[in-house]
Amino acid sequence: MNQSVNKTTASQPEAGKVDRDAVARRLARDVEEGWYVNLGVGMPTKVADMIDGDKEVVFHSENGILGMGPGPAPDAIDPWLVNAGKKAVTLLPGSSLFHHGDSFAMIRGGHIDLCVLGAFEVAQNGDLANWTTSSDELLPAVGGAMDLAVGAKRVWVLMQHTAREGEPKLVEKCKYPLTAPGAVDRVYTELGVFEIIDGRFSIIELANGVSFEQVQALTGAPLHGN
Amino acid sequence: MNQSVNKTTASQPEAGKVDRDAVARRLARDVEEGWYVNLGVGMPTKVADMIDGDKEVVFHSENGILGMGPGPAPDAIDPWLVNAGKKAVTLLPGSSLFHHGDSFAMIRGGHIDLCVLGAFEVAQNGDLANWTTSSDELLPAVGGAMDLAVGAKRVWVLMQHTAREGEPKLVEKCKYPLTAPGAVDRVYTELGVFEIIDGRFSIIELANGVSFEQVQALTGAPLHGN
Amino acid sequence: MIDKRVASLAQALEGIADGSTVMIGGFGAVGQPDALVDALAELGIKGLTIVANNAGWSAETGIPRLMDLGLVRKIICSFPKGSTVFRELYLAGKIELELVPQGTLAERIRCGGAGVPAFYTPTSVGTPLADGKEHRDFDGRTYVMERALRADVALIEAWKADRWGNLSYRGSGRNFNPIMAMAATLTIAQANEVSTDPIDPEAVVTPGIFINRVVQVESRVEALLAAQRQA
Amino acid sequence: MIDKRVASLAQALEGIADGSTVMIGGFGAVGQPDALVDALAELGIKGLTIVANNAGWSAETGIPRLMDLGLVRKIICSFPKGSTVFRELYLAGKIELELVPQGTLAERIRCGGAGVPAFYTPTSVGTPLADGKEHRDFDGRTYVMERALRADVALIEAWKADRWGNLSYRGSGRNFNPIMAMAATLTIAQANEVSTDPIDPEAVVTPGIFINRVVQVESRVEALLAAQRQA
């Protein structure tokens, strides 16, 4: 938890060189003390390690944990305690355990302050596509993404600004099947922080050394000042 | 629990002289080991004391108890432990505690083997009227009666055969507002045991010394042999 | 540091507005947040809609006290008998009653907390309480549609609380408390024991995520015993 | 005397018919009733519909083993990735998949056990998973109607059990187990510890009313650790 360095967002826009930790750290700065936070599998899980040590945040795992702590030492693994990615975790003081019915009541009922998810695409109206890249994908799987996207008070997407081949992931309209319409509040990428306001992407901040023109060129929808 | 006497149903048909314990004892004989049983407030609560000591039955209270035992000694009252009638109770080994959401999930979900209720009227098609005696009663109250009547696997009514003025309570059609349509399986009174089969009252047994004609005269619907 | 403990009943109740819908836990006297309700009565907040199983029993305390002070516009409950105050106000047309079967009340509250806006139940079909409700058949059985219930405020009672707002209960004291805790915008718990030590994660009944404030209140054992004698 | 303990896995599984719908608890490996599932595979009961969160991970054990033996007709789940056996059968058109969002799956099961035939949820609105479902607006938001799920049999895992069938769990091992326990006609639990001593009434997570049979099975710690390494 106690990350000594407190750098701002990384400045390298090229795909493949993204400092994922820096983006996660930038997002973590905006997480408020006392929030109940669910982190999606993958890049979002990094956020847990980036929260300032003196800011108490409660991490929720949809398989029935509140107050999840970091992974255990190899000799201290509890085989019965895993996160939503099925990896070993620990419990922090103040934690609680419950079943899936109650866990998704929390999610659907609007009790989670923040959900951080990865995405294939985010549209300027907040539409989120993060569960399947095609409507006839060979083997679809959805997990809890749809419930989290509609249920959390805030949905922040943490992702690389563009896809592997450089295609924009912030778009006017998603081409992939939606996870939820109008769900996303903010997007954090290596190029900046973008808020969805009145159906368009507003720039909250740009990463150091990144110009508006650079970001706009890598974005599939018009960007606006805040 | 260990009632030494094992009399059959009392034989006195006149109102006011009914041996309520005997009727409760007769019903208790038909309760099977291992059943989960909810007893309505009033006369039905007597059934708990009439169950054979070597027959383990689990009593449910809708305010969140399974495995309810008899009332405590005056010096052993737990103020936080009451039954649905708000009276002090005890817990037997194997008991459990839960909230109202889960308690009525048990009831509505068909997990209670038997519910014993009192009634104002039972109709030959199983209609039950036991919550209010008039559709414009000054101050209505319903509690959990409707949930129990529709949810329990079996609904047995335990009551006096006739009302105070001698009016029949087993009737062709209820005149009072229903608690639930077609809910009752059996009726136990001081005159006998009656099962509802194919929309009519079938006599399972008559109390000692009671003739078919006597019972029929006090019943507002045709009785049938079994 | 997360710390949901507040030092007084007044702090616990801060910010409740006239016209609020207030859920009050408890089944009869057990699990009723008596100190919070009595402190609410002192504040004189008007036009309340109360959601509770009962309408109380004694004019000196609890829901009848709120009613006696003219603060309650409406009550949504399953069993309003036993309260002389309510009876008189109701018969005089001075208070509104929405009578709900107990299990339907519980499920409406649970759905309110779980993000489910409506559900179907067999309870009340064929009775006057289903009048005007949407009916629908599933697999040959008839059900009514019921809407979720939410509140601005929930007042609940627990046995133990920790600084994270985690709660555990005692005996039959859970009743409506855990589900009401989920269904309100502002949930306030009174607890007999409040500690900075965490409750065992396996023993938490209401996770702190549902709780906004916790206040320590010595439980009124004598009042509970008196209510039992009256039952 | 009530005693839900049975002496063997074979006794625990007695009476399951071809064509049954079987709920299987667990989230990944944790809370999965592995011994019961493997014993079910040995019985060769055919035409099963499985309800579970995952489609398993290893061909040697659990749900993939059932599938590999050709016993499964259909699976209702939220996350079927990770199982090569399922993938191959599915792509070959030899097994049916009903993909359900995880929270909707949980609530459908909970409603199945709670006597609620249908409910509304915002989850999946505007996505392909809502295609063909009834949509309805409540208070200006759109929801889909979902039907309750029930099963003929639920296989679940607990940490402790007593002779009344009361259960408690360990860590994140609750997951789907408590709600599946409620939603089946025949619920069978494997538990690491089975005792004639009762579980503390305050600590019971699944009351025995939902449980028909309990069998003691030593938990396979190594299998759990292996599954974590694979995650």
Whole-model pTM? 0.95
For C150-167, letters b (16+ CB in 10 Å) and e give: bbbbbbbbbbbbbbbbbb
Contacts of D122 in chain C (CB under 8 A): 115
Measuring CA to CA, which residue among C104, C112, C130 is closest to residue C182? C112
Catalytic residue from among A14, A33, A56, A62 = A62
Nearest of C210, C18, D26 to residue A113 by alpha carbon:
C210
Closest residue of C to D119, CA-based?
A: C119
Q: Mutate one of C102, C107, C119 to test the D interface: name it (highest D CB count within 10 A).
A: C119
Give residue for tokens 């555990």: C168
Q: Does residue B216 register a pLDDT over 90?
A: yes
Interface touch D102/A151, C-beta < 8 Å: no
Answer whether B101 sits within 8 Å of C178, measured CB to CB: yes
- Write down the pLDDT at residue B44: 93
- Condensed to tens digits (0 to 9), the pLDDT of residues B67-109 reads 999 999 988 999 999 999 999 999 999 999 999 999 999 999 9
pLDDT of residue B12: 43
Size of interface A-D (CB pairs under 8 A): 147
Enter the ipTM.
0.95
Q: Which residues of C touch A109 (CB under 8 A)?
A: 112-115, 182
Residues C103, B151: C-beta atoms closer than 8 Å: yes
What is the reported pLDDT for C225? 85
Residue partners of A52: CB distance under 8 A and separation at least 6: A1, A3, A28, A29
Instruction: Identify the bridge partners of residue A168 per DSSP, sorted by sequence position.
Output: A162
Asked if C28 and C231 touch (Cβ cutoff 8 Å), the reply is yes
Which residues, at least 6 apart from D41, have a Cβ–Cβ distance to it below 8 Å? D65, D66, D69, D71
Which of C83 and B29 is assigned the larger pLDDT? B29
Nearest to D118 among C120, C168, C202 (CB): C120
SS3 state at A82: strand
- How do residues A113-145 score in pLDDT, each as one tens digit? 999 999 999 999 999 999 988 766 778 899 999
For B133-169, the pLDDT digits (tens) are 876 677 889 999 999 999 999 999 999 999 988 999 9
Residues in chain B with CB shorter than 8 Å from the CB of D207 are 66, 96, 98, 106
> Chain B residue with minimal CA distance to C88?
B139
What's the rounded Cα separation, in Å, for the pair C105 and C147?
A: 10
Q: Which of D24, D127, D156 to mutate to test the interface with A (most CBs of A within 10 A)?
A: D127
Catalytic residue among B14, B33, B56, B62: B62
Question: What is residue A127's predicted lDDT score, i.e. its pLDDT?
Answer: 98
Q: What digits encode the pLDDT tens for the residues D118-142?
A: 999 999 999 999 999 999 999 999 9
Backbone angles phi, psi at A121, to 5 degrees: -150, 145
CB-based contact A121:A136 (threshold 8 Å): no
Q: Which residues of chain A make contact with D80, given a CB cutoff of 8 A?
A: 139, 141
SS3 assignment, position C46: coil
Contact A96 C162 (CB under 8 A): no
Cα D97 from Cα A90, distance rounded (Å): 34
pLDDT digits (tens, 9 = 90+) for C132-178: 999 999 999 999 999 999 999 999 999 999 999 999 999 999 999 99
pLDDT tens-digit profile of D20-64? 999 999 998 999 999 999 999 999 999 999 999 999 887 788 999
Per-residue pLDDT reduced to its tens digit, A3-49: 333 333 444 444 456 788 999 999 999 999 999 999 998 889 999 99
Compute the count of residue pairs across chains C and D with CB atoms less than 8 Å apart.
Answer: 48
In the prediction, which pLDDT does D82 show? Answer: 86
Task: Work out the angle between the directed axes of helices D102-114 and B100-108 (0-180°, nearest 10).
Answer: 70
Nearest CA to A170 among A184, A181, A154? A184
Query: Locate tokens 């099947």: which residue?
Result: A177
CATH 3.40.1080.10 for domain D9-124+135-230, yes or no, is yes
pLDDT of chain C along its 231 residues, tens only? 999 999 999 999 999 999 999 999 999 899 999 999 999 999 999 999 999 999 988 778 899 999 999 999 999 999 998 889 999 999 999 999 999 999 999 999 999 999 999 999 999 999 999 999 999 999 999 999 999 999 999 999 999 999 999 999 999 999 999 999 999 999 999 999 999 999 999 999 999 999 999 999 998 888 888 888 777
Number of residues written out for chain A: 226
Mean pLDDT estimate for chain D: 96
| Domain range summary for chain D, segments of one domain joined by + | 9-124+135-230
Q: What is the pLDDT of residue B187?
A: 98
Instruction: Outline where DSSP puts E strands in chain A.
Output: 36-39, 58-61, 65-69, 90-97, 114-117, 121-123, 128-129, 155-158, 170-171, 186-189, 192-197, 200-206, 223-224
Looking at beta carbons, which residues of chain B come within 8 Å of C110?
A: 101
Q: At B193, list the tokens.
A: 């045991």
- Percent of chain D whose pLDDT exceeds 90: 89
Query: Chains touching chain B at 3 or more Cβ pairs under 8 angstroms?
Result: C, D
Chain D positions touching A77 (Cβ under 8 A) are 225, 228
How many other CB atoms are there within 10 angstroms of residue A204's CB atom?
A: 15
Q: Is B67 left (phi over 0), alpha (psi -120 to 50) or beta?
A: left
Whether residue B111 and residue D210 make contact (CB cut-off 8 A), yes or no, is yes
Structure tokens at D62: 């659990």
CB contact set of A160 (below 8 Å; sequence gap of 6+) = A15, A18, A20, A169, A189, A190
pLDDT-derived band of residue B226, with 50, 70 and 90 as boundaries? Answer: low
Residue B10 has pLDDT above 60, yes or no: no
Find the closest chain C residue to D147 by CA distance.
C138
Q: Let me know if B165 is a catalytic residue.
A: no
Q: Which residue of C has its CA nearest to B135?
A: C128
Residue A88 has pLDDT above 80, yes or no: yes
- pLDDT tens string A140-192: 899 999 999 999 999 999 999 999 889 999 999 999 999 999 999 999 999 99
Domain A6-221 classified CATH 3.40.1080.10? yes
B5-34: average pLDDT: 72
CA distances from A156 to A200, A215, B117 (A): 15, 19, 54
CA distances from B88 to B36, B70, C206 (A): 20, 9, 25
Q: Which of C91, C102, C224 sits opposite B144 (nearest CB)?
A: C102
User: How does strand A36-39 pair with strand C141-147?
Assistant: unpaired
How many CB pairs below 8 Å do chains A and C form together? 62
Q: List chains adjacent to chain D, taking adjacency as at least 3 C-beta pairs closer than 8 Å.
A: A, B, C
Contact at CB, C205 and B99, closer than 8 angstroms = yes
Q: C101 vs B85: CB contact, 8 Å cut-off? A: no
**Min Cα–Cα distance to chain C from A140, Å:** 26
C45 and C17 in contact (C-beta within 8 Å)? yes
Separation of alpha carbons D77 and D33, rounded Å? 16
pLDDT, average across residues B44-53: 93
- What's the pLDDT score for residue A1? 33
Tallying the residues shown for chain C, one arrives at 231
Q: Taking an 8 Å Cβ-Cβ cutoff, which residues of chain B contact chain D?
A: 33-34, 36, 56, 58, 60, 66-67, 91, 93-98, 104-112, 151
